[in-house]
Structure 1
Amino acid sequence: MAIKLFERVESGKGLFAVETISLIYNALTSFLILLLYARMDHPGTMLLERAGIVALTFTLIYLYQAFPCRLTAFIRMVVQMSLLAYWYPDTFEFNRLFPNLDHIFASNEQAMFGCQPSVEFSKHCPSIWFSEPFNMGYFFYYPMMLIVVVYYFVKRFEWFEKICFVLVTSFFIYYFIYIMLPVAGPQFYFPAIGMDKVNACDFPAIGDYFNTNDYLIPGPGFDQGFFFNLVEASQEVGERPTAAFPSSHVGISTIVMIMAWRVSKRLAYILLPFYVLLCCATVYIQAHYLIDSLVGFFSAFFVYQLATLMYKRWFITPAFKLMG
């Protein structure tokens, strides 16, 4: 592995596909900031942060051109993927300005299922034997992505650029939806209206309530559990009242499973239990309505095909290849 890390690759002068799509998303959201400048909380800081991301991107390109090898290629790709942790809460800075739509989704949930599945699920399965496996699955979201990305890097380097592009582009497609569709999910909406209204099947509109409020209800389940507390800690740091519909946890993890299946069926079978637990957990911990998770699953196949088509149309040849 140490030898392959420093195996030289042909150095191109252009951007990697994943960097191109990241810069496009950066530019589009920067333009949106300018349009909404007067209404936003800290638009100047957001624009400066975006400029910093551009500077970082081109610094890494310079590093790669100076030392063109697998390792520097990996760094360029992974840095763009790690920046998704910045782009996710960033969606909240936009959709907090628009009227919240949770009342529509909660009402439809009630009409379709005759209850609130996110409430009933955790209520009927509160023990550690349910709580810990589901929270483990939810926490495994990013590790599952990392495992598949590293597997491609080690075993199928020639496909590495493509899967990084497809993964990041899929995130950006979901993020655009979240910017335009402000749905916070049960863990934010239910405490905002009160459980007495939820139990009475009364789901009022709350307008731009989340523009100034972001209280997150503690997750249900066994609150002394190891994975329960890991999920709680991660949500306290990075969670915002945004990105409920469709569930990107379900959508992206489904795309990751497609990628795993295409490269190694054995890898897919190993990840399958974690994937199933993750999908169930999105509703169990009340991060999503059931309809969010269902649409997240079915949308994943369309998003995967769209991102793959974009790669094929825009990037016919890889940005790097091994030197023989």
Structure 2
Amino acid sequence: MAVELRLFERIESGKSLFAVERISLMYNALTSVLIFILYPEMDHPGTMLLERLGIVLLTFLLIGLHQSFPCRMTAFVRMVVQISLLAYWYPDTYEFNRIFSNLDHVFAAAEQAVFHCQPAVEFSEHCPSEWFSEPFNMGYFFYYPMMLIVTVWYFVFRFKWFEKICFVLVVSFFIYYLFYIFVPVAGPQFYFPVIGMDNVSSGIFPPIGDYFNHHAFLLPGPGYEHGFFYNLVEASQQVGERPTAAFPSSHVAISTIVMIMAWRVSHKLAYCLLPFYLLLCCATVYIQAHYLIDSIVGFVSSFFVYVLATKMYNRWFASRAFVTK
């Protein structure tokens, strides 16, 4: 009963738009302008603009719902919807960068120069068994559950910070998504099958131009093919993965930001999530979703992105946070 009362506790935010909604609408508008600029070269720009209009209408529909029932639960729905829309905005980056020349040959060559091999290939080849494959795939699959757990934890135990962490999380994604739009890197799982493993073994990484503008097929990844988590990752990738967003690794970057958030609210929570976080970071290379340099840069950049997103919230929105009644 106590939890139910808290869910429907009245709140006042002092604004019609939450911080996360404002930044989402800004990203929506920015990418809409980009669609108009690149309209002749894009695959289905009209549909993309209609989808963006639908997202705007959904946002204001939820605002109306919350204004009719201004409580924690409707605030939670508004926030979670914006976070869930990230699943739309991620493959959306491919619709932009597919028209540019692919840069995987640059990053694969840099990987070879730094490590004198391709760690993504070596890792999976030296550790093919179920005892490596399943834990790593479990960690990779835990990416979104980690975000959900930390978000719900703040909602239940630190509600006054709930809007802030949702904003920081979504802004962090958008910063990386904007980068991905203009830096088209698909990652080993897409690039290596195109150039052939003989070239990879020989350290030859030819440019492929706009190949991924017309080809987005993803071959099964390495690992134990009969594993439960292996098949979960494969199924999710076949549905939502695109040849985009490899550099830097948003999986490593965002999960690092989520770990920072977890540590700030509960050290016990952070310790519980730590094994999944470490497995996830390793999995990005093991399943060949990323070059090792993608993951390293993802980790390093996450701290700068977290600070930037936090400063944005503190400067623009902190004075209008939730007030419970």
TM-score interval for Structure 1 and Structure 2 normalised by the shorter chain: over 0.9
TM superposition outliers: structure 1 runs of 4+ over 3 Å? none
Residue aligning to 1:19 = 21
Correspondence 1:141-290 to 2 at 5 A: 141-290=143-292
Q: Which runs of 5+ in 1 are unaligned?
A: none
- Partner AA of 1:103 in structure 2: H
CA apart distance, 1:14: 2.1
Does the CA contact (< 8 Å) of 1:13 and 1:65 recur in 2? no
CA apart distance, 1:13: 4.0
For normalisation by structure 1, the TM-score amounts to 0.99
Equivalent of 1:134 in 136, 151, 157 = 136
Aligned equivalents of 1:170, 1:204: Cα separation in 2:
32
Counterpart of 1:224 in 2: which secondary structure?
coil
- Partner AA of 2:231 in structure 1: N
**Identity over aligned pairs, percent:** 76
CA apart distance, 1:297: 0.2
Residue aligning to 1:28 = 30
CA apart distance, 1:318: 3.4
Aligned equivalents of 2:105, 2:163: Cα separation in 1:
41
Partner deviation per Cα, 1:225-250 (whole Å, 9 max, x = no partner): 00000000000000000000000000
CA apart distance, 1:317: 1.8
Does the CA contact (< 8 Å) of 1:15 and 1:319 recur in 2? no
Does the CA contact (< 8 Å) of 1:18 and 1:164 recur in 2? yes
Aligned equivalents of 1:12, 1:50: Cα separation in 2:
26
Does the CA contact (< 8 Å) of 1:186 and 1:287 recur in 2? yes
Partner deviation per Cα, 1:172-218 (whole Å, 9 max, x = no partner): 00000100100000000001111111111110000000000112121
- Partner AA of 2:242 in structure 1: R
CA apart distance, 1:11: 5.2
Equivalent of 2:61 in 45, 59, 62 = 59
Counterpart of 1:21 in 2: which secondary structure?
helix
Residue aligning to 2:299 = 297
Residue aligning to 1:6 = 8
- Partner AA of 1:260 in structure 2: A
For normalisation by structure 2, the TM-score amounts to 0.98
Aligned residues: 323
Does the CA contact (< 8 Å) of 1:11 and 1:65 recur in 2? no
CA RMSD of aligned residues (A): 0.7
